[in-house]
Amino acid sequence: NGVSTEARGALIVLEGLDRSGKTSQSSRLLSYLEGLGHSAELWRFPDRTTSVGKMISSYLSNESQLDDHTIHLLFSANRWEKKSLMEEKLKSGTSLIVDRYSYSGVAFSSAKGLDIDWCKAPEIGLLAPDLVIYLNILPEKAAERGGYGGERYEKLEFQKKVAAYYQILRDASWKVVDALLPIEEIEKQLQVAVLDCVKACQGGKPLSCLWS
Ligand code: Z5A
């Protein structure tokens, strides 16, 4: 009947500790997908460009103080304000490579001592990733990479707690990759997983919501 049955894009999230290589790998993945002729975009959370994102940015750089619950909800709000655009892009056939998402939200706030179920609650109803790539690295090794800067969470003891919460959050959508391998080796492993995922989404895999 002429109705468009355009294939949807894939929602691919990169997670991992600070310095695990998310930024390096996400830009390589974008070039890879674009090189194959796929429509794709690179996103990151926090999105520091929005008004909520500016509050988050000022908190992360220690320019402002916020209660732990408050900043948790701001990180979540920063994802909610992008949800409809995210859905639109995916439905129109664009794949999104997203540097950090709800798993960062829950792992970092839980590591501060907030209840994990409380942390998950505001994420319920956001789009569920089709694939989560977890760049696995020991916190000590991550700290060796150029050292941590001055942002709030860039401390070894805290990163160890975050790593433990990431393990609790791991589910079937995760692909865990050894982040100590050479950049090009990781890139090759990710290309295979990402292409499989993009094809599954083109093939009709339905979009779903967190947390299921
Ligand atoms: N946060 C939160 O609390 N709640 C939330 O909901 C969200 C975030 C979304 C924002 O971080 C902070 O907010 C973050 C979590 C919290 N705090 N911490 N920690 P961000 O996203 O703005 O910054 P980041 O994630 O910490 O990014 P990063 O420091 O840029 O790390 P990265 O992207 O994972 O790594 P990279 O820049 O690609 O690589 C780091 C260095 O390692 C660089 O010199 C590379 O050349 C090198 N590298 C990368 N891969 C390799 C390999 N394979 N071998 C050797 N060297 C490598």
Distance 181 CA to ligand 1 centre (A): 16
Helix pair angle (68-80, 102-111), 10° resolution: 180
What distance in angstroms lies between residue 22's CA and the mean position of ligand 1's atoms?
6
Q: Is the CB of residue 94 less than 8 Å from the CB of residue 12?
A: no
Sequence ranges of the domains in the chain: 14-202
**ipTM higher than the 0.90 cut:** yes
CA 152 to chain centre: 19
Pocket-testing residue among 22, 45, 152, ligand 1, by greatest number of atoms within 8 A of Cβ: 22
- Separation of CA 16 and ligand 1 centre (Å): 7
For domain 14-202, the CATH class is alpha beta
Q: Global pTM?
A: 0.96
Quote the ligand 1 centre to 208 CA distance (angstroms).
Answer: 27
Is the previous residue joined to 211 through a cis bond, with omega within 30 degrees of 0?
Answer: yes
Give the residue among 178, 58, 162, 35 at the shortest CA–CA distance from 103: 162
Q: How high is the pLDDT of residue 108?
A: 98
Which letter does DSSP use for residue 152 in this model?
T
Condensed to tens digits (0 to 9), the pLDDT of residues 116-164 reads 999 999 999 999 999 999 999 999 999 998 767 778 888 899 999 999 9
Report residue 2's pLDDT band, with 50, 70 and 90 as the boundaries. very low
Residue 61 clears pLDDT 60, i.e. is over it = yes
| Structure confidence at residue 5 as a pLDDT band (50, 70, 90) | low
Q: What is the mean pLDDT of the chain?
A: 95
pLDDT in tens, 49-59: 999 999 999 99
CB atoms within 10 A of CB 124: 12
User: Cβ < 6 Å from ligand 1: which residues?
Assistant: 16, 18-24, 45-46, 60, 75, 100, 104-105, 108, 145-146, 153-154, 179, 181-183, 186
For the CA of 105, the nearest atom of ligand 1: 6
